């Protein structure tokens, strides 16, 4: 097989020193050993790929198949080398990156890992002191610790802390089991780092619709008491209901919104009932008609008690016999009123 120097020379006027070629030849996939040692190998591979690409860019765009193949080979080596077996004690959590998982789902994950190999490695970022920040895969790490495992397979991510934060946020945002409230918390953190972005630009960056971004950010306008409920029960209020409740809060109904969410947390309401409860406060309560009353006396005793409210009249007589005797008279009087109204 021709050397790297020969293959590059056929397509480009690139001169590699003996030292360069020796370094390229030495970059072969090896089994994981120690984290720091592999990190050095990974960094060397990245530098070599970057240098080779820079040399290609400096030419007149006549990249040969051989040079492109070498870059592909190095990138494959980098992908292999980026998988590390890291001691669990060296993995550390950064606040805000962990996503919520229901206890039942976590139990399923742990029991699956008890009997099966890890399919998706944990994504980590080297901190420079021999430790690693967890970017994503917190629950897999938790499960391995509970199972008394000593190491876990990881993928080393290259990038700044901000890039790691954003990467974790984007990965979590696309998880279907992430609650809307957690998406809001992540979106607020992303927004604080990128204050120059408006909602339209933020929507483009995170890959969700502007209307959904707006709905998620509506949590910000809920009363602080509601946020206290949501911190404990993150799936309590979805983004659609949150937008309705936020609008009601801005209309001065914060106390009613808080009461609705309290009942929701106690399973007295579902989300639709909570929203309806807040909306109903807009409807004017029907006023009860004032009743007019008078009594017909027979000496000191009440012969008939009369009560009328709107078009309803109630007569209560002293005895059933009186009521029966008066009934015919009332009927005649009413019939005469009807006859007079026609004249």
Q: For residues 231 and 162, state if they share a domain.
A: no
Q: For residues 159 and 226, state if they share a domain.
A: no
**Range in 139-153, 180-194, 238-252 with the lowest mean pLDDT:** 180-194
Q: For residues 165 and 191, state if they share a domain.
A: no
Lookup: tokens for 176: 């279907």
- State the CB neighbour count (10 A cutoff) for residue 32: 16
Domain count, the chain: 3
Q: For residues 121 and 74, state if they share a domain.
A: no
Q: For residues 72 and 137, state if they share a domain.
A: no
Alpha helices in the chain (DSSP H): 4-11, 18-26, 35-58, 65-81, 103-115, 138-146, 161-173, 180-193, 199-206, 210-217, 224-232, 239-250, 254-265, 271-279, 320-342
> Which one of 108-112, 308-312, 332-336 scores highest in mean pLDDT?
108-112
Q: For residues 74 and 148, state if they share a domain.
A: no
- Whether residue 332 is contained in a domain is answered as no
Lookup: tokens for 18: 């003996």
Half-sphere exposure of 186 (CA within 13 A, CB side): 25
Domain final residue pick, 59, 81, 103 = 81
- Given CA atoms 208, 136, 190, 181 in this order, what sign does their dihedral have? positive
pLDDT in tens, 181-192: 988 988 888 888
- pLDDT higher for 198 or 32? 198
Domain final residue pick, 150, 169, 188 = 169
- Whether residue 315 is contained in a domain is answered as no
- Whether residue 339 is contained in a domain is answered as no
Return the pLDDT at 33.
43
Return the pLDDT at 7.
41
**Model pTM above 0.85:** no
Q: For residues 185 and 270, state if they share a domain.
A: yes
Identify the domain containing residue 28 by its residue range: 4-81
103-126 mean pLDDT: 90
Residue 244 pLDDT exceeds 60? yes
Residue 224's pLDDT band (cuts 50, 70, 90): very high
User: What percent of the chain clears pLDDT 90, i.e. is strictly above it?
Assistant: 31
Cβ(13)–Cβ(35) below 8 Å: no
- Whether residue 55 is contained in a domain is answered as yes
- Whether residue 130 is contained in a domain is answered as yes
- State the CB neighbour count (10 A cutoff) for residue 294: 10
Return the pLDDT at 47.
58
- Whether residue 324 is contained in a domain is answered as no
- Whether residue 45 is contained in a domain is answered as yes
Domain final residue pick, 81, 100, 133 = 81
Q: What is the CATH number of the domain that holds 105?
A: 3.90.1530.10
Q: For residues 212 and 162, state if they share a domain.
A: no
CA distance 304 to 320: 11
- Whether residue 316 is contained in a domain is answered as no
């Amino acid at each position: 097989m021709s050397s790297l120097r020969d293959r590059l020379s056929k397509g480009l006027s690139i001169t590699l020193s003996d030292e360069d070629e020796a370094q390229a030849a030495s970059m072969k996939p090896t089994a994981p050993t120690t984290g720091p040692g592999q990190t050095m190998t990974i960094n060397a591979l990245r530098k070599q790929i970057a240098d080779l690409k820079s040399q290609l860019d400096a030419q007149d765009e006549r990249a040969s198949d051989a040079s492109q193949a070498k870059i592909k080979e190095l990138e494959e080596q980098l992908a292999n080398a980026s998988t590390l077996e890291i001691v669990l004690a060296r993995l550390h959590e950064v606040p805000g990156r962990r996503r919520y998982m229901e206890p039942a789902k976590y139990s399923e994950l742990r029991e699956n890992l008890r009997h099966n190999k890890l399919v998706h490695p944990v994504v980590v970022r080297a901190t420079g002191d021999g430790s690693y920040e967890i970017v994503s895969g917190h629950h897999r790490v938790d499960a391995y610790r509970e199972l008394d495992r000593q190491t876990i397979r990881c993928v080393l991510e290259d990038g700044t802390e901000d890039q790691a934060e954003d990467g974790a946020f984007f990965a979590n945002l696309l998880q279907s089991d992430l609650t809307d409230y957690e998406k809001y918390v992540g979106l607020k953190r992303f927004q604080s780092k990128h204050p120059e972005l408006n909602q339209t630009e933020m929507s483009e960056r995170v890959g969700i619709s502007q209307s959904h971004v707006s709905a998620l950010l509506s949590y910000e306008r809920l009363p602080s008491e509601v946020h206290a409920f949501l911190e404990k029960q993150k799936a309590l209020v979805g983004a659609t209901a949150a937008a309705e409740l936020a609008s009601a809060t801005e209309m001065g109904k914060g106390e009613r919104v808080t009461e609705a969410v309290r009942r929701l947390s106690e399973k007295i309401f579902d989300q639709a009932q909570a929203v309806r409860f807040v909306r109903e406060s807009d409807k004017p309560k029907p006023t009860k008609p004032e009743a007019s009353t008078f009594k017909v006396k027979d000496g000191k005793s009440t012969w008939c008690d009369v009560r009328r409210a709107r078009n309803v009249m109630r007569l209560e007589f002293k005895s059933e016999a009186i009521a029966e005797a008066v009934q015919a008279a009332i009927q005649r009087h009413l019939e005469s009123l009807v006859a007079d109204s026609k004249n």
